[in-house]
Structure 1
Amino acid sequence: MSGRNSKGEKLGLWGLVKEVFNWYPSHYPVEERKLLFKLDVSILVFACLCFFVKYLDQTNISNAYVSGLKEDFDLHGNELNYFNVCYYTAYVVFQVPGLLLMSRPKLARWLLPTLEVLWGICTFAQSRATNVSQLYAIRFLVGMFEAPVFAGTHFILGSWYSGPELFKRAGTWFICNPLGTMVSGYLQAAAYTNLSGVGGMPGWRWLFIIDGIFTIPVAVIGFFIFPGIPDSPRPFFLTESDIALAKDRAHRFRIRRPGKLGLDVFKRTLKRWHIWVFISSYACMILSSYPTLYMNLWLKAEGYSVTQINKLPTVTYALNIVTSWLGSTLASIYPPWIIYTIVSACSLFSTLCMIIWNIPRGLKFVAWYLFGAAGCTSPILYSTVNTIVKDDSEERALIMGSMMTFGYSFQIWVPLLLFPTAGPDGAPRWRKGWPATFAFFFLLWAGFVSAVVIHKREQKRKGKYAESSAESTEGEVEAVVDVAPSNKGASER
């Protein structure tokens, strides 16, 4: 197995190390390298901050639950699952509309910063909730405003970048998922220790206040630096020549620019295989990742302290950070299916340990932490969608929105059946849930590999068709050339 650089040249060990960090290939013109740097600073800075606070909020509800929320609101049973149900219901409903709006050039630049403001307001509101019903309502609003952030950012990245540069940036951006989750654990531990009782509020309420303080400045930054897509209104830091170069790059990489948005996008998308394979794969990814997020419930059942419960799971997220970046980067150098196979094997091993369950505590920790190896599966999957469906901007947006809608629609009800919080089969044992998780991890791997194989076969068929068309055209030209002299002679005679 040999890796290749952006020129297609085979790499040795030192060449591989250099290629991992090679974001601005030397064979690119100076103007193109400058454009990439501007895009990195603008898109990645805003997207990373936005994604960081999003996952900070997503994890905060779980950390708050085990850090005093459950006792303060006298919760019993599956309320934590119901919080997630409210969130994911709104998340599902607003996915496709949000992504289709994101494909509109004039809206693409302003949509995410505006939603960030509304989301920040709701984040603050969670700290003032006085009963569980208010939290249910606020979680629904948070899900609605967060809906287009994840898939929408992938869509934006796929509109500016292609090939190895896309995989590297998607992986770098995605590290803010585990980073936000990891920091949430440390923040909750610090809030529980240092802020409990300050202002008459328990520590878990302060965590939402801190999250809101992070969120509003991010939204303000986004209004100034987020560029939308190449056809959006030009931001101040990009020149006319920058935009012209970006559009030329899109043409060169065969990334189709936005067209008319109508019912036809649904008709042509549903006729192709892309949407069916990708939404199924993503649903398996979502369901397989659900139980891996609840190491804190296992630690609580094992009798660890509140501080340990918040801090120990952060090791998984630290591994997530490394694999999100490194795995996605290596997928730009080696065939992505190879990277997918390696991380899937790690996840299947960890899940098998959870199915057996009665294993040494040290091995149980290894299994929980090894789930962090799956950090790169999502950015690789979405970068593959951007690569395979780059010839149709509207279809690409619809597929990405549908992936989230389909995947999280299962998240609404499947956890209630497979991953109950209480009961004999409840967290963290999940006698039914862990075997199902094993199946989901396997089906995710099988779906991804199938997409790669089908696409390669399509490309080969297209190549043969183009070759035969070229030969046919050459034959027609030669026939014209052969005939033309005699016609010319006849006219002369």
Structure 2
Amino acid sequence: MAEIAEKQNDQGKRLTPWQLFKEVFNWYPSEYPSAERKLLFKLDLSILVFACLCFFVKYLDQTNISNAYVSGLKEDFGLYGNQLNYLNVCYYTAYVVFQVPGLLLMSRPNLARWLLPTLEVLWGIATFATCKTTNINQLYAIRFIIGMLEAPVFAGTHFILGSWYGGHELFKRAGTWFICNALGTMVSGYLQAAAYTNLSGVGGMAGWRWLFIIDGVFTIPVALLGYVIFPGVPDSPKPFHLTTADIALAKERLARFKVRRPGPLGLDVFKRSLQRWHIYVFVFCYIAMICSSYPLSYMSLWLKAEGYSVVQVNRLPTVTYAINIVASWLGTTLAAIYPSWIIYTIVTVCCVFSTICMIIWDIPTGLHFFAWYLYGVYGCASPILYSAVNTIVRDDSEERALILGSMMTIGYSFNIWVPLLVFPTAGSNGAPRWRKGWPFILVWFVLLWLGFVAAIVLHKRDQKRKTVYAGTGPVGDSETDTQVSEDAGSSADGEVAVVQETPVLKA
């Protein structure tokens, strides 16, 4: 442990470019015992592989409706009003309602292994069914069902990651996992372009209908893989690829990272959560994130309005998602090395610049493209925020699940009504000009930054209070244990922590 402490101290100092490069790719630190490095590798092959594939097909299925809309669905169904927004409202209404129940179920060890794969099988079937819809009302119903089934995936995966990993490990894995958001959205655009070009009329179906069949073909095998390799949480029934020693080591690691394992689930979780600042600040941050991010994925509407071809409308926005992939991985990794508020500041400045360009609007076409693509850096904002939640609230598993679910519930509830008022599809204030929408998100970008910085400041205050209490608190009997403590690797503020061995006196 002294070697880990020394390395963490060195990381806290200024890194040379070569040291920084090595640290970015250092997933299995050499100072870890061999058994721990092997465990991390097994977890990456099970949790991270399934989580990435699951998240990839989720966003493939979630964004296919927008790609289908601009690739023939609008004309086939005669959708010349606000129907695209209404489809999103149906999806997000179900998404909101089932967040907290889904996350609390995810915190139950006996359910955690099977919940995500089962939900994925069901939404894959619903995705297949979309290709046979004949009117908008059927689409509304299916989008509601898919939203219900996909509800626990995003925050639930963050909860699972926070139940196995800690510190710099958590930030790096969360960033790598989150790239599948952009990857799924990007691939959906390429698939729709290919389906429109090569499958239109095949089997008597339009190209946009084939997109849902292709998405379903991706989804079902991933779900079946989850039944085999997904481990749930450390207290779940043991999967075949983890030994009894692996599970024991995983639980030991949780104690080292001060991550409390699941306990009884009762109404008191609501009481104790509401008495702490975490739920209020983090829910506010996610509201800001949702309100500021809505139009960022609708570059396709601008391209369509500018007269670009269907293939270009589906392909050109994928550059944003490519940038998003790099930002999600690199930005979150750097937040495990440097203070994360610095990363958030850089992201905010980029997004504010792009939004000012959109507010002005009458700018050169090249600058328009640059502004749309620059929004891709926003990709790291979400995984850093959720990793901070997992780090700061690591001492209460049920509260952590409730906060993650509440963030999604309350945050996405704004997606039900804000788009209808601020981001209408048609009209003088409609897409993609959004005369009210672009100033609206400018304010929320700034509020998100303020909320995140507030969380860092409050967490540091709490840590100082705990330190003072530990130094002056009552002492019990003379029995002493040694507890390895690590302030979550990067801690909540992104600074590399010092692993230290401190005596814990039992009362």
Normalised-by-shorter TM-score class: over 0.9
Cα distance in 2 for residues equivalent to 1:57 and 1:18: 36
Secondary structure at 1:7's aligned position in 2?
helix
Matched, 1:30 2:34: yes
TM-score, reference length from structure 2 = 0.92
Shift of 1:8: 2.9
SS of the residue aligned with 1:290?
helix
Give the partner amino acid of 2:277: W
Q: 2:67 aligns with which of 63, 69, 87?
A: 63
| Aligned residue among 360, 371, 387 for 1:367 | 371
Say which of 162, 166, 173 aligns to 2:166: 162
The 5 A counterparts of 1:83-482 are 83-469=87-473, 473=475
CA distance in 2, matches of 1:374, 1:132: 32
8 Å contact kept, 1:327–1:339: yes
Task: Provide structure 2 residue ranges, at least 5 long, that are not aligned to the other structure.
Answer: 479-507
Q: Distance in 1 between matches of 2:71 and 2:143?
A: 18
The answer to whether the aligner puts 1:73 opposite 2:77 as a matched pair is yes
- From the superposition, tell whether residues 358 and 439 of structure 1 become closer, same or farther in structure 2 (CA, over 3 Å): same
> What corresponds to 1:21 in structure 2?
25
Hey, what does 1:8 align to over in structure 2? 9
What letter corresponds to residue 103 of structure 1 in structure 2?
S
What is the distance in 2 between the residues matched to 1:203 and 1:5?
59
Kept in 2, the 8 Å contact 1:6–1:164? The answer is no
CA spacing shift, 1:77–1:390, aligned 2, 3 Å: same
Contact 1:168 1:325 in 2 (8 A): yes
Name the SS for the 1:109 alignment partner.
helix
TM superposition score normalised by structure 1: 0.94
Q: C-alpha separation between the residues in 2 aligned to 1:105 and 1:62? A: 36
Q: What is the RMSD of the two structures over their aligned residues, measured on CA atoms?
A: 1.2
Query: Conserved in 2, the CA contact under 8 Å of 1:6 and 1:25?
Result: no
Output the CA distance in 2 between the equivalents of 1:87 and 1:6: 47
Tell me the distance in 1 between the aligned counterparts of 2:353 and 2:80: 33
Deviations 1:268-300 (A, max 9, x none): 001110000001100110111101110000000
Read off the aligned partner of 1:468 and give its amino acid letter: T
Structure 1 stretches of 5 or more lacking a match? 478-493
Q: Which amino acid aligns with 1:108?
A: A
Compared CA separation, residues 249 and 414, structure 1 to 2 (3 A) = same
How many residues matched?
471
Deviation at 1:57, TM superposition (A): 1.1
- Structure 2 distance, partners of 1:331, 1:5, is 20
Please state whether the residue corresponding to 1:58 is helix, strand or coil: helix
**Pairwise CA distance, 1:464:** 1.2
SS in 1 for 2:46: helix
What's the offset of the Cα at 1:5? 9.5
TM-superposed deviation, 1:6: 6.0
- Offset of residue 432 of structure 1: 0.5
CA positional deviation for 1:7: 2.0
**More helix, by proportion:** 1
| Alignment check: 8 A CA contact 1:93 1:405 kept | yes
